[in-house]
Amino acid sequence: MSIATTVTEAVTTRRSVRHFLDKPVDYETIRRVMDKARWSPSGCNYQPWQAAIVTGQPLADLRARIAGKPMGELEYSWDAPAAHPEYKERLNGISKGMFEAMGIARDDGPGRMAAMARNTTNFDAPALLLCHFPRFMLEPQWSDTGMWLQTVALLLREEGLDSCFQEFMAFYANDIREFLGLDHDSTMFFCGMAIGYRDENAPGNNFERERVPLDEQVKFLGF
């Protein structure tokens, strides 16, 4: 994937990439991205986000740690909106597009489970960001962390890299905290972010995604 040269290009070419090339991510490149991302918005300048970025043998060790383990209990819910038909429809739409692009039929339960299980290997991305923060941080700081993660994703596009946000990794929060030497009682593990170079030929990276029309989400008053 080409380098994004404008903010607009970074925003419109960013997508959740689930098929990566077997190509390592250079340390100086990822350090440059993370150094720039420090300037993300932060209410009261709290800058709540913290992270570890792993690659090579440490990443292989983490994957081996969680391989074959049952998913743990989530400490937060990301799918509450699915209880409402409007939002459930959006979820179903993106799932349908992804599985159809990958050639996995709706009634192919094992195929779908195998595709979802690739989350545990971070879709074979060469690098993985593990995001966490102190448990005393509340909703505004969670929002700040999301803005930071989005900034990281867009800066990755500026470097020709791609990513996939992985809230799925929170199923293994206890294993990840132990792996990183983090205290369970004081640390909230938030999500992973798979990082690497996009396989442009993979159908799962190329299906059409839908977005809600602008006028359904935003009102313009006084213009």
CATH entry 3.40.109.10 includes domain 7-76+120-206: yes
The domain limits of the chain are 7-76+120-206
Each residue's pLDDT, cut to its tens digit, for the chain (223 residues) gives 689 999 999 999 999 999 999 999 999 999 999 999 999 999 999 999 999 999 999 999 999 999 989 999 999 998 899 999 999 999 888 888 888 888 888 888 888 888 888 989 999 999 999 999 999 999 999 999 999 999 999 999 999 999 999 999 999 999 999 999 999 999 999 999 999 999 999 999 999 999 999 999 999 999 9
- Note whether 3 and 139 are within 8 A (CB): no
Q: What per-residue string of b and e applies to 4-36 under the rule 16 or more CB within 10 Å gives b?
A: beeeeebeeebbbbbbbbeeebeeeebeebbee
Q: Which amino acid is at 212?
A: V
